[in-house]
Amino acid sequence: MILLRRRAADAVEMMDLPDCDPARLERTYRQFAVVNRALSGWRRLYAKELRPLLSAVSPTTVLDIGSGGGDLAATLAGWATRDNVKLHVTGIDPDSRAHQFAAARHHLPGVEFRQAHSSDLLKEGRSYDVVISNHVLHHLQPAELQQLLADSQGLARRKALHNDLRRSPAAYALFFVAALPFRGSFIRADGLTSIRRSYTPAELSGLAPAGWHAEPRAPFHQLLVLRKDQPDG
């Protein structure tokens, strides 16, 4: 598919426009919870990457960069509660609309939201056991992506996990069908634009500094990961 041979770096998602329809934007934030549970693969990531770090004694801290409507932060906290382990998630997003939605919708123990950039927290001297993001990397140009990774490396004590879309004809075709039920929001149109904007694993590997690894994940995701609690190699 010629459309996907190169990254559509200049494509714009409708929900990112400052004057987009607020009702459709709110419906998009609400539908993200369903999309992420069904398609983003965080249940497996939680079991493999986060759950082994959690205990019932002291909370493991997680920073969710670009937390959007807050559904992932709330979901992770819910899984930890059911497992009787302690987790504290801080969700940050520079978009005031996303922050206001998340802060108003999710009132859970161990979950907080801030309107901030990762660089703001780094300047404050903060650190977290794990830094994560979901569907953020494709929004960034190469220099912005490298800055995010540098911030993540400075903020994470144990590991950083950036889960994102993977550009491919199969991903585009699968999402084209899978997103049909999500009506009245920006989910389908913006999701297809996101795939066109996303990086391939080879592109991510070429941009990431030493220590980071791009791991393809079926059917149309990839994980850019830095594990500080394991030797590189």
Structural domains counted in the chain = 1
Please name which of 69, 84, 62 lies closest in space to residue 36, comparing C-alpha atoms. 69
Q: Which residues of 179-193 are buried (b: 16+ CB within 10 A; e: fewer)?
A: beebeebbbbebbbb
Residue 28: inside a domain: yes
| Amino acid found at 71 | D
What predicted TM-score, i.e. pTM, was given to this entire model?
A: 0.94
Question: Other CB atoms closer than 10 Å to residue 43's CB: what's the count?
Answer: 14
Task: State in Å, rounded, how far the first CA of the chain is from the last one.
Answer: 34
**Within a domain: residue 193?**
yes
Q: Does a structural domain hold residue 205?
A: yes
| pLDDT band, residue 219 (cuts 50/70/90) | confident
pLDDT tens per residue, range 67-95 = 999 999 999 999 999 999 999 999 999 99
Structure confidence at residue 2 as a pLDDT band (50, 70, 90): very low
Could you tell me the sign of the dihedral formed by the alpha carbons of 165, 167, 171, 177, in that order?
A: positive
Tokens representing 83 are: 């497992």
- pLDDT at position 1 is 47
Question: Any residues with CB less than 8 A from the CB of 190 and at least 6 apart, and which?
Answer: 13, 14, 15, 28
Token representation of residue 201: 């694993």
In a domain, 232, yes or no: no
**DSSP letters for 81-99:** HHTT--EEEEEE-S-HHHH
Q: How far apart are CA 145 and CA 165, in angstroms?
A: 14
| Residue 233 falls inside a structural domain | no
Q: What percent of the chain has pLDDT over 90?
A: 89
Are the C-beta atoms of 54 and 87 separated by less than 8 Å?
yes
- We report the CATH number of the domain holding residue 194 as 3.40.50.150
**Angle at the Cα of 131 (from 130 to 132), degrees rounded to 5?**
115
Closest CA to 53 of 233, 230, 232: 230
| Opening angle at CA 208, ends 76 and 155, nearest 5 | 45
Q: Is residue 153 in a domain?
A: yes
pLDDT, tens digit, for every residue of 179-193?
999 999 999 999 999
pLDDT for 220 equals: 86
What does the alpha-carbon distance between residue 186 and residue 164 come to, in Å, rounded to a whole number?
18
Domain hosting 53: range is: 2-227
| Beta-sheet pairing, 156-165 with 221-227 | antiparallel
Query: Residue 62 forms beta bridges with which residues?
Result: 89, 130
